[in-house]
Structure 1
Amino acid sequence: MSFQISVSGAAADAVRTVVPTLVADLVASGITSLDPALWGPEAEVEAGQRLGWTESVAASRLLVAEIVALREELHAQGVTRIILAGMGGSSLAPEVITLTSGVDLTVLDATDPGQVLAALADRLESTALVVSSKSGGTVETDSQRRAFERAFREIGIDPVERIIVVTDPGSPLEASAREAGYRVFNADPTVGGRFSALTAFGLVPSGLAGVDIEQLLDEAEAVSLALAVDSEDNPGLILGAAMASTTPLRDKLAIVSDGTHIVGFADWAEQLIAESTGKIGTGILPIVLDRDAPELTAALPDVQIVRVVADAGGKLFADHGGADEIRVSGTLGAQFLVWEYATVIAGRLLGINPFDQPDVESAKIATRGLLDSRPEPEPAAFISDGIEVRGTPHVIGAASDLGSAIDALLEELGPDGYVAVQAYVDRVALPQLAELRGLLATLSRRPVTFGWGPRFLHSTGQFHKGGTPTGVFLQILSTPAEDLDIPGRPFTFGELIQAQAGGDASVLADKGRPVLTLTLTDPAANITTLFNAVR
């Protein structure tokens, strides 16, 4: 079977209670038949324009031959490396697809100048760039495209030969790309970004990198019928009920890869769930965990554990007893489609519209304001061992050093709160920063999320501002050793990432969220200081 699920404890109780009602209400067949009324009258217009993902498998079959032909054409030109410039839904699915397939794809979902410079310096003469943006106006992607266009020209390569564009029809990017002569793949405009794994956004970069995308579509198709049927065995109904109907609601969904062949799946699911459900003061917050994460043994009453495993129990639904857990297994294509169904079902159960993201735009507006005005940087409240410390008044008011500032932030945590670490740094050069997550979980005894900025702004950023208002936020910035200008723009990559961090911090602060911002002026040296302060 292409997908298996088993549940126990509160999740099993939720499934027994809620799934029969979902079956009686014809929810599964309603989703498949594109019924926009399933999420209430306020969501009906948006839902009517955002259900195309249920038909992605059939629609995307038409793309496969074109993608494979282009891959062969690029290989004949000596192209052996694919870089993807994309954010959120445009990058997370290709990343998990290629990692799982063992295929090399450089994902550039960053504005840190060091990370962009490193991508530009690596085998540029044998590189093709996929520029992927649904709206066609994503500032990160536009900036990356400009940098690569210039770099290609500087080594005597016509960018038209090396840049491929994926965007919605009618977007500003489509118009400019076609005018410039770039190869353009149009995606389905009725599919939202976070639901686009099985559309051109997921398939073009993955296929060009060398993935067997036909097989991926076959995997999804194998579970399609089970998802469309109004049955108590429907895996989408079971997973959606287990996610969103526990009593009381376990609104932190801890996702851990535990023996699965799929690599990085939780990072994709994180955006899908957080951006779809985190709004109007409610939602489900995904927490991406390792197998030894403190949260897995802490027995926190608001945390629901999901294990992505090699075998979930041998049949579609079984209450396996023991730990209060959800276990899922299956092929990657099937996982994509089941979790998409489950997430919109969870939205119905929570009483929200799973297709909008009203709070994502607020950080973008604040960023644009800072880029337009470019005010002088806010002075640090104090500097501790080379780390500049800033924050909201309650956090830094009584702090005098790094340790006391971190303590003050964690003191703002409530019994149902969480910590969000937001690292606006070069994630390739500083991967060890992610280890802060486990240290803070041990220290706070609460769930901790970790996101690389600005990548997470297109993912958990919606939940942080629109979801359950219980988070406290640790921003980590760095002073780049070298900056990089953006052709045709009055700001640099360094200024852009600083504005993105500052814009998001201001929106969080305006919503009453506690924020602590630490700027590493010498990242390599400051990391040890930071880790010691947390310990």
Structure 2
Amino acid sequence: MSAPTSISEFPGGIEAAYRAALESLVRQEAIARLFRRDASLWKREPEHQKTIANRLGWLDSPRWLQERIGELTAFATEIRSEGFTRVLLLGMGGSSLAPEVLAEVMAPSPGAPTLEVLDSTDPGSIRTAETTHRLDRTFFLVSSKSGRTIETLSQYRYFRARLEEAGVPDPGRRFTAITDQSSALDRLARDEGMRRVFLNPPDIGGRYSALSYFGMVPAALLGLDLKAFAESATRAAEACAAPDPARNDALRLGAFLGAAARAGRDKLTLLTSPSLRPLGYWIEQLVAESTGKEGIGIIPVEGEPPGFARYYSEDRCFVSLTLASEPSADLARLDAELKQAGAPWVEIVLPRRVELAAEFYRWEVATAVAGAVLGIDPFDEPNVQESKDNTAAILAQIEKTGVVPEGEPRAREDGVLVYASQRLWEKLTSYTPGHPSLEMLIGRLLALKRTGDYLAILAYVERTAGTESAFAHLRREIRDAIRIPVLQGYGPRFLHSIGQLYKGGPSTGIFLQITSSDAEDLPIQGSRITFGKLKLAQALGDLQALDSRGKPAVRLHIAGSVADGLATITQAVERALTAFAQT
């Protein structure tokens, strides 16, 4: 057996708060109560206790997995024997993020199909998924706990129609569903002849489902060593059940996260070695959706390019995640600089990639513990539905009129249209002579920054190497210039991840939404709605939810090419930051 995962804490400026939180958890017997499934660890209200009681099945995931290795391996062998060379997973949030980690961090075994994840309604993303691999050699996983996820069901309808149009025989057997029993997807799968339906334990919530069918069916199809995964997770579960903090890394991590947030360091900055970057996506959803409610929460800052210590504001704590075989000189330098400045830091070094299984379990326990420190229910998501309801109302209008109700832009410049609520627009343009420039509007939006704020860039565009590079540049430039954490996510993907926190968490966000016209739109079979209109409706619905809470949110719509539009926005941001430096 290789060396265990190395975890070390440097509480720095939150030393007293961290020790107090840890001592309180020990006095409360938090770990024993967690594993007894005592809902009063978090809440005493009956409605919360009912929710919590039905969301703790993940505690048994390692044992559950051990018992299903044979079943999962046999299914993977069956799919491989029929010549499929790619698995395309259609899913969002908790149904897709753990599979994405496995697909990008773990190498498939020889002869196993590749695994790709489609978690977008962007027409370009869907077309790319369609055209980069032969559809007749593609096996589809349709994953949704509720069975009602609009993105997933729309994707299924699209690819099912594509297979039928191509004359592929028995197209239903090229799909398998993962869902809860009696869900809409369960019924659909049986009615439409899908090969199989994997019914997940109903007491496992989406973001805690990595070690259930939602994560392990994809793992099996990749040909990963499920026995090693189960053993890794089992060791983690045994360690996480220890009441002694010295032997329980998850207890200490949860105390650290909760104490940091309560001490004003609620920006959890995740720093990873390059190959572990996808793990940050999964942690972002787990932590944000679990803790971002009741006006408080831990705000994950995932994927922000590393910088020098002087560029990081004092509202941050840090967790670094690296592989022992992949040391990072940049992270080592930043580690030393920030520790010297007293910044709270946890360092996690994985000896092998298979230890991802243990990391999944450790972070699930730590997040549940952090919820107890913060006094919130880490298993509900009370503010997710509002954006969905707004989107549904907009889609109803589109069904009736055929037109997306965007409203009129407040300004336009070089193919970029600016939208904002009347309240925010008056604030951004007060005492402004003539026509406001994009540079001025962005500058005034950033000038709303207060101590403890963050900026979130919400991009409803296709995720490509070009957009990743452009957003990394924007995040670095803005952070370095005005010392603000800069988050970035792709819509509608982030709605199923950190979107809960944006609405229900701390009132410290400034939001820059970026939408775009689509060079090509794609139909959703059986609907008047297209993917492009669905994507825009989701953006508008979420913007309404932010506006209704008085959150400062501006939408920039790119009317031409995304590359040109992002270049225009970047140039305006750079000019605005230059003006900041001169004031």
Per the normalisation by structure 1, the TM-score is 0.94
The residue number in structure 2 matching 1:20 is 23
Quote the offset at 1:377 in angstroms.
2.4
Letter paired with 2:265: R
Quote the offset at 1:65 in angstroms.
2.2
Q: 1: distance between equivalents of 2:370 and 2:481?
A: 31
Q: 1:383 aligns with which of 393, 407, 412?
A: 412
Which stretch of structure 1 is more off in the superposition, 129-138 or 379-388?
Answer: 379-388
Q: 1: distance between equivalents of 2:391 and 2:4?
A: 43
The residue number in structure 2 matching 1:41 is 44
SS at match of 1:264: helix
Q: How many residues align?
A: 528
Q: 1: distance between equivalents of 2:298 and 2:221?
A: 34
The residue number in structure 1 matching 2:581 is none
The residue number in structure 2 matching 1:525 is 564
Q: 1:465 aligns with which of 490, 503, 506?
A: 503
The residue number in structure 2 matching 1:200 is 213
Q: 2: distance between equivalents of 1:198 and 1:251?
A: 28
Correspondence 1:361 to 2:385: yes
The residue number in structure 2 matching 1:82 is 87
Correspondence 1:5 to 2:7: yes
The residue number in structure 1 matching 2:432 is none
The residue number in structure 2 matching 1:176 is 188
Correspondence 1:340 to 2:364: yes
Structure 1 residues 469 and 411: CA distance shift in structure 2, 3 A = same
Correspondence 1:107 to 2:109: no
Which stretch of structure 1 is more off in the superposition, 203-212 or 108-117?
Answer: 203-212
Q: 2:467 aligns with which of 430, 445, 461?
A: 430
Q: 2: distance between equivalents of 1:109 and 1:71?
A: 22
Q: Where does the alignment leave 5 or more consecutive residues of structure 2 unmatched?
A: 109-113, 328-337, 399-403, 430-434, 575-583
Letter paired with 2:563: A
Q: 1: distance between equivalents of 2:312 and 2:545?
A: 32
User: Conserved in 2, the CA contact under 8 Å of 1:395 and 1:408?
Assistant: no
SS at match of 1:287: strand
The residue number in structure 2 matching 1:316 is none
Structure 1 residues 464 and 62: CA distance shift in structure 2, 3 A = same
Q: 1: distance between equivalents of 2:6 and 2:23?
A: 19
Correspondence 1:410 to 2:446: yes
Matches within 5 A, 1:183-222: 183-222=196-235
Q: 2: distance between equivalents of 1:11 and 1:235?
A: 18
Quote the offset at 1:525 in angstroms.
1.9
The residue number in structure 2 matching 1:52 is 57
SS at match of 2:511: strand
The residue number in structure 2 matching 1:250 is 265
User: Conserved in 1, the CA contact under 8 Å of 2:103 and 2:116?
Assistant: no
Quote the offset at 1:221 in angstroms.
1.1
The residue number in structure 2 matching 1:287 is 301
Q: 1:129 aligns with which of 140, 145, 150?
A: 140
Q: 2: distance between equivalents of 1:290 and 1:416?
A: 17
The residue number in structure 1 matching 2:330 is none
User: Conserved in 2, the CA contact under 8 Å of 1:98 and 1:211?
Assistant: no
Matches within 5 A, 1:440-455: 440-455=478-493
Q: 2:281 aligns with which of 267, 284, 299?
A: 267
Quote the offset at 1:376 in angstroms.
3.4
The residue number in structure 1 matching 2:240 is 227
SS at match of 1:245: helix
SS at match of 1:499: helix
User: Conserved in 2, the CA contact under 8 Å of 1:97 and 1:206?
Assistant: yes
Letter paired with 1:371: L
Quote the offset at 1:394 in angstroms.
4.9
Q: Deviations over 1:136-188 (max 9, x none)?
A: 00000000000010011112222222111000112111012122221111111
Q: 2: distance between equivalents of 1:350 and 1:525?
A: 44
Letter paired with 1:520: I
Correspondence 1:159 to 2:197: no
Quote the offset at 1:82 in angstroms.
0.7
SS at match of 1:262: helix
Structure 1 residues 432 and 396: CA distance shift in structure 2, 3 A = farther
Letter paired with 2:270: I
SS at match of 1:531: helix
Quote the offset at 1:12 in angstroms.
4.0
Q: Deviations over 1:325-352 (max 9, x none)?
A: 1112332111111111111111111111
Letter paired with 1:430: T
Letter paired with 1:378: G
Q: 1: distance between equivalents of 2:305 and 2:476?
A: 11
Structure 1 residues 278 and 169: CA distance shift in structure 2, 3 A = same
Structure 1 residues 502 and 272: CA distance shift in structure 2, 3 A = same
Quote the offset at 1:36 in angstroms.
1.8
Q: 1:236 aligns with which of 245, 250, 259?
A: 250
User: Conserved in 2, the CA contact under 8 Å of 1:14 and 1:241?
Assistant: no
Letter paired with 1:264: P
Per the normalisation by structure 2, the TM-score is 0.87
Q: Where does the alignment leave 5 or more consecutive residues of structure 1 unmatched?
A: 314-319
